[in-house]
Structure 1
Amino acid sequence: MTADCRLYLITPPVIDDLAAFGRQLAEALDGGDVAALQIRLKNAPDAAIEAAVHALTPICQSRGVAVILNDRPDLAARLGCDGVHVGQDDASCAEARRIMGAKAMIGVTCHDSRHLAMEAAEAGADYVAFGAFFPTSTKEASTRAEPEILTIWQEVMEVPCVAIGGITVETAAGLAAAGADFLAVSAGVWGHAEGPGAAVKAFEAEITKGVAQR
């Protein structure tokens, strides 16, 4: 368990204008503490994913933010990403590690299952992701997780856990208090009424409140 909780941003599922989104990303990262950006473009062709990685990585690297690619350890390795996030239907954690190497960050989706999370941890995952905690428009969530899974995980495991799924500024403190090491957020930042920079600042304030309640 880390001593605190940090924000983990996920791109919108579709990026129509990379230059415009790059400006949004820079604003978000300058708004407060962000640990990582996951580039998640599920249905995009490889060329579009590569373009996104090339455009967004310098923005992240200049601010000390890790770049994680969703689903594709092969592309992540070739494009020099810091890590990859795999789902239960994607490459296994072991396969991702073989492709990415020992230093890469490997994250695994574990839905609402401590069993899946323990398997991922034993396979060498650097973090496990639980969710969805709330309804989300970003992806179709097949499972609903309860905050207690974060607390139980922290009591028995050292591998960090990420909370994901419909998280907003209003719900951030509760998940941080429950024990999340990271809050993965997409629409809660990019769709925030006051812009992504204000969103990250607001998330950081709520996360700080939540951690103080642990």
Structure 2
Amino acid sequence: MNAPTTSCSLYLISPLEVGGDFPARLERALDAGPVAAFQFRVKDVDQHEAARLAAPLQEICRARDVAFVVNDSVALAKRIKADGVHLGQGDGDPREAREELGREVQIGVTCHASRHLAMEAGDAGADYVAFGAFFPSSTKQSEHKPDLDLLRWWSSLFEIPCVAIGGITPDNAPALIEAGADFLAVSGAVWNGDEVAAVKAFAKLLT
């Protein structure tokens, strides 16, 4: 199959367990092919522990010029001087995040399957919008299921990049790329197996 010519990049999302040998796995994944960004996503840990876990991963990303994005927490993003923050619908207003974090920090917003939420996020100054889940995901349950027309609509009308998320694998990714996704947000397809082989498989589609 010929890879679509549309420009699209890989956006890795961490598993919930990022201690142990995960820093070494992240290094291998980032060295296996081009990755635009890495999202640090942990749950049920306090900010001090989250900052401790983030530190080595942030260094790995910085050394490879990969944007380091914090999930959900503007306070943590500010504390560790992250490159970006990703906000769910309940995680605060992008305008307030911008005031806290400054002009240089990338702000992304989860918009599920909603054109309205995406336009609102764009008006509020989001640097990218995320749509999903496009496919069933073991990483995060979602009742929202956008179709490919949402990506086509967004990419034809707006300059703000869009991220496709949810159960994405090298097998189902080509349709998302063709529909106009600027980034593929991937977690389980990489971390649930051989991260090097998975990143290489995605890289073939994206070059």
TM-score category of the 2 structures, normalised to the smaller one = over 0.9
Q: TM-score by structure 2 length? A: 0.94
Show the counterpart of 1:14: 17
Supply the distance in 1 between the matched residues of 2:98 and 2:107 (Cα, whole angstroms).
Answer: 7
Q: Measure how far apart 1:51 and its partner are.
A: 1.4
Supply the distance in 2 between the matched residues of 1:134 and 1:44 (Cα, whole angstroms).
Answer: 28
- Structure 1 stretches of 4+ moved >3 Å: none
Q: Secondary structure at the match of 1:177?
A: helix
Q: Identical aligned pairs, as a percentage? A: 50
Supply the distance in 1 between the matched residues of 2:116 and 2:179 (Cα, whole angstroms).
Answer: 19
- CA distances 1:164-201 after superposition (whole Å, capped 9, x unpaired): 01101111111111100000000111113xx1111111
- CA distances 1:108-159 after superposition (whole Å, capped 9, x unpaired): 0000001100110011100000000011111121211111111110111110
1:9-158 aligned at under 5 Å gives the runs 9-17=12-20, 20-158=21-159
Structure 1: gaps spanning 5 or more residues? 209-214
Supply the distance in 2 between the matched residues of 1:173 and 1:191 (Cα, whole angstroms).
Answer: 20
- CA distances 1:77-122 after superposition (whole Å, capped 9, x unpaired): 1111001000101111111111111110000000000110011001
- CA distances 1:44-102 after superposition (whole Å, capped 9, x unpaired): 22233111211101100111100000011111011110010001011111111111111
Residues 19 and 53 of structure 2 are in contact (CA less than 8 Å); yes or no, is this contact kept in structure 1?
no
Supply the distance in 2 between the matched residues of 1:177 and 1:43 (Cα, whole angstroms).
Answer: 37
- Residues 1:204 and 2:207 are matched in the alignment: no
Q: Secondary structure at the match of 1:61?
A: helix
- Residues 1:191 and 2:192 are matched in the alignment: yes
1:156-175 aligned at under 5 Å gives the runs 156-175=157-176
RMSD: 1.3
Q: Measure how far apart 1:16 and its partner are.
A: 4.2
Supply the distance in 2 between the matched residues of 1:172 and 1:126 (Cα, whole angstroms).
Answer: 22
Supply the distance in 2 between the matched residues of 1:128 and 1:67 (Cα, whole angstroms).
Answer: 17
Supply the distance in 2 between the matched residues of 1:207 and 1:147 (Cα, whole angstroms).
Answer: 18
Residues 172 and 207 of structure 1 are in contact (CA less than 8 Å); yes or no, is this contact kept in structure 2?
no
Residues 68 and 83 of structure 1 are in contact (CA less than 8 Å); yes or no, is this contact kept in structure 2?
yes
Supply the distance in 2 between the matched residues of 1:10 and 1:44 (Cα, whole angstroms).
Answer: 17
Q: Secondary structure at the match of 1:170?
A: coil
Structure 2: gaps spanning 5 or more residues? 1-5
Supply the distance in 1 between the matched residues of 2:53 and 2:181 (Cα, whole angstroms).
Answer: 28
Residues 38 and 69 of structure 2 are in contact (CA less than 8 Å); yes or no, is this contact kept in structure 1?
yes
